[in-house]
Amino acid sequence: MIISRIIGFESALPPFTVTNDDLAKIVDTSDEWISSRTGIRTRHLTADQNTSDLCIIAAEKLLKKAGWAPESVDLIVLGSVSPDYTTPRTACLVQEALGCKNAFCFDLAAACSGFIYSLSVADKFIKAGGVKRALVLGGETLSKITDWSDRSTCVLFGDGAGGVLMEASEEGGILCEDIHSDGSKGMALTAGYRTNKSPYYKGEPKSSEFIDMNGREVFTFATRKVPESIKTVLEKSGTAMEDIRYIVLHQANTRINDVIARKLKAPAEKFFTNIDRIGNTSGASVPIALAEMNEKGLLKKGDKILISGFGGGLTWATMLIEL
Ligand code: UT7
């Protein structure tokens, strides 16, 4: 049986960081409010890079460390809701920069679940037999779709990118997944609404570039659906919580992760978190966390880890991976 093995974890963060005190100079907020409600203390924000720039840095590191020739990559999938262009897509910009000329490339927009959705899609191409090697990325420059006068959202987000390489294998890799969407609650978290501007369009022209979120609704959704999803993956795969080395959740809010840990009755040490330094980087948060864990030597061959993303759509997705 073909299994998609995951090789290498890398990330790229803009060098410029902004503290909660810095934000208190531009909106009516405080370090106390932000850190106690979210766990966030600082975040990286791009001063001159776009989403593709960060993705290219992460992808270059991945290929270099694995010793993969760029031409050997068959597929690039990139989870993002903040691409450089509507077209060409960021995955194509990465392809061009790296010289992955044999890959077919596309972006996948599933907000904070985007990286895990992308892993799932790449996994299916690998299992179907047409793809042997895939580059899967999550990259965001949310700062360009953030309303910097809205204190309820601008304190939450950060910019960054991360990713992994995937290869057809006979052992390890993606063992089980649980993936969902609920469009009926989609208006709880929106960005980038646009109506038509053609001379033939009869409706009211309207656009809203920025992220708009009902934080409470998203909080309730995440703390209800993510534990369910994790339990489903454990049951479907016949895996006990004790066999899981780490759980890496989308880094949206420390309080969300604490509630999820309580509901799962899982010890806090199983949950990796870096939200204090990174903020919420949407589709990039899970691969950025994995890259940091790898850098710190926390990811060991044979370990089973759970990764879970949740957010806009609404979407949520959990995956069990054997390293
Ligand atoms: O990655 C996508 C998924 N997104 C999420 O997972 C986000 C989930 N939601 C959350 O993390 C939380 O709901 C937030 C951190 C976004 C907000 O926390 P909250 O405890 O739900 O606050 P709230 O929105 O209910 O607002 C409480 C109060 C309000 O003031 P009043 O109406 O009670 O006077 C807000 O205006 O806090 C006020 N407020 C702030 N005050 C200081 C909102 N933002 C700020 C701020 N600084 N930055």
| Reduced 3-state DSSP string for 99-143 | CCCCCEEEEECCHHHHHHHHHHHHHHHHHHCCCCEEEEEEEEEHH
Look at the alpha carbons of 221, 224, 229, 232 in this order and tell me if their dihedral is positive or negative. Answer: negative
What pLDDT, on a 0 to 100 scale, did the predictor assign at position 312? 98
Angle, CA of 51, 292 and 117, to the nearest 5°: 55
163 Cα–ligand 1 center, Å: 30
Q: Are 150 and 142 in contact (CB under 8 A)?
A: no
Per-residue b or e along 71-81, where b marks 16 or more CB atoms closer than 10 Å to that residue's CB:
eebbbbbbbbb
Q: Considering only CA atoms, which residue is closest to atom 35 of ligand 1? A: 152
Helix (H) or strand (E) run with residue 42 in it: strand 42-44
For residue 162, give the nearest of 55, 8, 65, 258 by alpha carbon: 55
What are 256-303's pLDDT values in tens digits? Answer: 999 999 999 999 999 999 999 999 999 999 999 999 999 999 999 999
- Catalytic-residue membership of 257: no
Please, what is the Cα angle at 273 between 223 and 135, to 5 degrees?
Answer: 95
pLDDT digits (tens, 9 = 90+) for 98-145: 999 999 999 999 999 999 999 999 999 999 999 999 999 999 999 999
Instruction: Look up the pTM and report it.
Output: 0.97
* pLDDT range class, residue 172, cuts 50, 70, 90: confident
Closest residue (by CA) to atom 38 of ligand 1? 152
Nearest alpha carbon to residue 130 among 121, 138, 141: 121
Residue 112: active-site member: yes
Catalytic residue, candidates 55, 100, 105, 112: 112
Indicate the pairing of strand 207-208 with strand 193-194. Answer: antiparallel
Q: What is the CA radius of gyration of the chain?
A: 19
The Å distance, Cα 152 to ligand 1 centre, comes to: 5
For 191-217, how does the pLDDT look when each residue is reduced to its tens digit (9 = 90+)? Answer: 999 999 899 999 988 888 999 999 999
* Under 8 Å between Cβ of 322 and 263: no
Q: What residue spans of 172-270 are helical by DSSP H?
A: 215-237, 254-264
